[in-house]
């Protein structure tokens, strides 16, 4: 059946039937059906074969995914083969089994592409093919306005572009337009690059300012944490002062003590306040989150046997045990490094648990090989004052020989300093 190529025949299927029976890509009969894994859109087997080279884009406007995977839709194929469907073109609306409908369309309704002789069942599918898919459709040359052949077949595109006429016109175009605009393009690129560089500088300055602000915020957070800790200490001491004041006031009421007792009470209050103020103004190192304290000692500062060098006092926590490390060189045959751990009297000793019986470790750190780090475990019962069987110091008379420390490439010395670590195991 030959028809005018511009003829448009109304398809007598409703929208649901067209969606189920027509290919979304070429508008031809959807058989054999294939399905795209991106959104489930169906296309026919011929479109799937033509687009298997990686040029397929999902025809669904809302999806539009590039290069979706094509899968066989056997369930829909079985469903089609079981149905009886009316001819969408014949005005008699004859009903056929799906297989017979395909034969009917092939025998009665044949619409041929005049450019490539391909057969279609519907003129709409043929026209869509001629406008968008046919390799023999005529294409306008982009240089037609400059005298090149106005139209050529899509299949002859490469041949046309390599023709002498096209190449000659393209060369003239390059000389006339491209070369003349090259200098203005370079100037424009330089201006754009200058603007980009300026924006980068501004962004860099803004980032530096932002980093400075973030550092200040972190500093403020640290100060706030310290202030909260000091606030808790002040509250504890004030509560202690209130308790003492109440006890003294009760004693004064009950026993009729003299004004001198009350004066002593106020004197104690003043001493507590002075100690609180001193605590707020003084600094003391605390163990880090892993219960460690590090002491860096310059080798030349370590004295001989008759005296020792001492670390800054440190505490296990803001209201914990107070200690210090001491070091000296003891000549016993060979010179040895002697390290002493000393418990100091602290403000919170009355409320702490004594004796101190936690396991502690003193380490001489090897900076090059951690497996060669020297450690000494301390176990015992200690207190802040020597009392009977309990001591307030522990001496390691020979933690390491000075020959080992000073040996070349020993790993114990860096910048003429050694590194001691105190660790407490509160488990």
pLDDT digits (tens, 9 = 90+) for 361-382: 999 999 999 999 999 999 888 8
Q: Is the dihedral of CA 349, 353, 356, 359 positive or negative?
A: negative
Mean of pLDDT values over 265-280: 70
Q: How confident is the model at residue 4 (pLDDT cuts 50, 70, 90)?
A: very low
Mean of pLDDT values over 33-62: 79
SS (H, E, C) 144-196: HHHCCCCEEEHHHHHHHHCCHHHHHHHHHHHHHHHHHHHHHHHHHHHHHHHHH
Query: 289: number of CA atoms within 13 Å, CB side?
Result: 0
* Residue with the larger pLDDT of the pair 30 and 330: 330
Per the DSSP assignment, residues forming a β-bridge with 306 are none
Confidence (pLDDT) at 96: 78
Mean of pLDDT values over 393-399: 92
Kindly tell me if the per-residue pLDDT of 241 is higher than 70. Answer: yes
CA 250 → CA 135, 247, 254, distances in Å?
110, 5, 6
Task: Report the distance separating Cα 230 and Cα 236, nearest Å.
Answer: 10
Mean of pLDDT values over 18-45: 80
CA 85 → CA 4, 53, 103, distances in Å?
26, 33, 13
* Residue with the larger pLDDT of the pair 382 and 390: 382
Q: Which CATH superfamily is domain 15-133 in?
A: Zinc/RING finger domain, C3HC4 (zinc finger) (3.30.40.10)
Question: In CATH, what number does 285-425 get?
Answer: 2.60.210.10
Identify which of 73, 72, 77, 85 has the alpha carbon closest to the alpha carbon of residue 17: 85
Mean of pLDDT values over 58-84: 81
Confidence (pLDDT) at 387: 63
CA 286 → CA 134, 290, 293, 330, distances in Å?
82, 11, 7, 29
List Cβ neighbours of 244 (8 Å cut-off, separation of 6 or more). Answer: 265, 268, 269
Mean of pLDDT values over 82-100: 75
Task: Report the distance separating Cα 93 and Cα 99, nearest Å.
Answer: 16
* Residue with the larger pLDDT of the pair 347 and 89: 347
Task: Report the distance separating Cα 187 and Cα 169, nearest Å.
Answer: 27
Confidence (pLDDT) at 7: 46
Mean of pLDDT values over 232-249: 87
Kindly tell me if the per-residue pLDDT of 99 is higher than 90. Answer: no
Task: Report the distance separating Cα 343 and Cα 356, nearest Å.
Answer: 9
Mean of pLDDT values over 164-190: 71
Mean of pLDDT values over 118-141: 73
Task: Report the distance separating Cα 180 and Cα 308, nearest Å.
Answer: 86
Confidence (pLDDT) at 22: 80
Task: Report the distance separating Cα 386 and Cα 394, nearest Å.
Answer: 11
Q: How confident is the model at residue 274 (pLDDT cuts 50, 70, 90)?
A: low
Identify which of 11, 1, 14, 2 has the alpha carbon closest to the alpha carbon of residue 124: 11
What tokens were used for 244? 């003492």
Per DSSP bridges, beta strands 334-344 and 359-364 are unpaired
Q: Are 206 and 199 in contact (CB under 8 A)?
A: no
Q: How many residues does the chain have?
A: 427
Mean of pLDDT values over 31-46: 83
Q: Of 2-11, 204-213, 267-276, which gets the smallest average pLDDT?
A: 2-11
Kindly tell me if the per-residue pLDDT of 251 is higher than 90. Answer: no
Q: Of 67-71, 82-86, 88-92, 302-306, which gets the smallest average pLDDT?
A: 88-92
Confidence (pLDDT) at 1: 45
Mean of pLDDT values over 271-287: 66
Kindly tell me if the per-residue pLDDT of 6 is higher than 90. Answer: no
List Cβ neighbours of 329 (8 Å cut-off, separation of 6 or more). Answer: 302, 303, 304, 305, 335, 336, 337, 338, 402
pLDDT in tens, 189-229: 778 888 898 888 899 899 989 988 998 898 888 888 888 88
Q: 111 in helix, strand or coil?
A: strand
pLDDT in tens, 140-152: 777 767 777 667 7
Q: Are 23 and 128 in contact (CB under 8 A)?
A: no
Mean of pLDDT values over 2-21: 59
Specify whether the backbone of 211 is left (phi greater than 0), alpha (psi in -120 to 50) or beta.
alpha
Q: Are 305 and 328 in contact (CB under 8 A)?
A: yes
What tokens were used for 39? 């959104």
Confidence (pLDDT) at 415: 92
Q: Of 23-37, 46-60, 234-248, which gets the smallest average pLDDT?
A: 46-60
Most confident residue range from 38-42, 46-50, 329-333, 374-378 = 374-378
Task: Report the distance separating Cα 215 and Cα 339, nearest Å.
Answer: 38
What tokens were used for 208? 């530096």
Task: Report the distance separating Cα 31 and Cα 173, nearest Å.
Answer: 49
Task: Report the distance separating Cα 186 and Cα 172, nearest Å.
Answer: 21
Confidence (pLDDT) at 8: 45
Count the neighbouring beta carbons within 10 Å of the beta carbon of residue 105.
22
The rounded mean pLDDT for the chain is 80
Confidence (pLDDT) at 68: 81
């Amino acid at each position: 059946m030959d028809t005018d190529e511009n003829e448009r025949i109304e398809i007598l299927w409703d929208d649901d039937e067209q969606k189920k029976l027509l290919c979304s890509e070429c508008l031809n009969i959807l058989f054999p059906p294939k399905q795209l894994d991106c959104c489930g859109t169906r296309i026919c087997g011929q479109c799937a074969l033509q687009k298997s080279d990686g040029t397929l884009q999902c025809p669904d406007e809302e999806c539009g995914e590039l290069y979706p995977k094509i899968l066989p839709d056997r369930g829909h194929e079985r469903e089609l083969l079981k149905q009886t469907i009316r001819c969408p073109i014949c005005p008699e609306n004859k009903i056929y089994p799906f297989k017979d409908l395909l034969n009917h369309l092939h025998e009665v309704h044949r619409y041929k592409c005049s450019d490539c002789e391909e057969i279609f069942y519907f003129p709409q599918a043929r026209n869509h093919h001629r406008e968008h898919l046919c390799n023999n459709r005529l294409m306008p040359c982009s240089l037609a306005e400059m005298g090149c052949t106005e139209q050529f077949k899509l299949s002859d595109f490469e041949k046309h572009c390599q023709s002498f006429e096209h190449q000659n016109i393209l060369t003239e175009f390059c000389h006339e337009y491209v070369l003349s605009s090259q200098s203005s393009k370079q100037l424009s690129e330089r201006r754009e690059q200058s603007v980009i560089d300026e924006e980068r500088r501004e962004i860099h300055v803004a980032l530096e300012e932002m980093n400075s602000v973030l550092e200040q915020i972190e500093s403020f957070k640290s100060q706030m944490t310290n202030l909260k800790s000091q606030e808790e200490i002040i509250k504890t001491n004030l509560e202690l002062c209130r308790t003492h004041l109440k006890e003294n006031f009760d004693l004064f009421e009950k026993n009729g003590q003299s004004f001198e007792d009350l004066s002593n009470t106020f004197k104690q209050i003043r001493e507590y306040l002075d100690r609180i103020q001193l605590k707020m103004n003084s600094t003391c190192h605390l163990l880090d989150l892993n219960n460690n304290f590090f002491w860096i000692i310059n080798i030349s500062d370590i004295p001989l046997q008759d005296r020792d060098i001492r670390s800054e006092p440190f505490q296990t926590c803001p209201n914990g045990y107070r200690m210090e490390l001491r070091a000296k060189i003891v000549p016993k045959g060979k010179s040895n490094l002697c390290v002493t751990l000393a418990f100091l009297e602290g403000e919170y000793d009355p409320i702490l648990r004594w004796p101190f019986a936690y396991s502690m470790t003193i380490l001489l750190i090897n900076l090059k090989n951690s497996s060669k780090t020297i450690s000494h475990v301390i176990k015992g019962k200690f207190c802040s004052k020597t009392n009977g069987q309990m001591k307030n110091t522990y001496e390691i008379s020979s933690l390491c020989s000075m020959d080992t420390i000073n040996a070349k490439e020993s790993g114990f010395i860096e910048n003429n300093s050694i590194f001691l670590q105190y660790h407490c195991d509160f488990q």
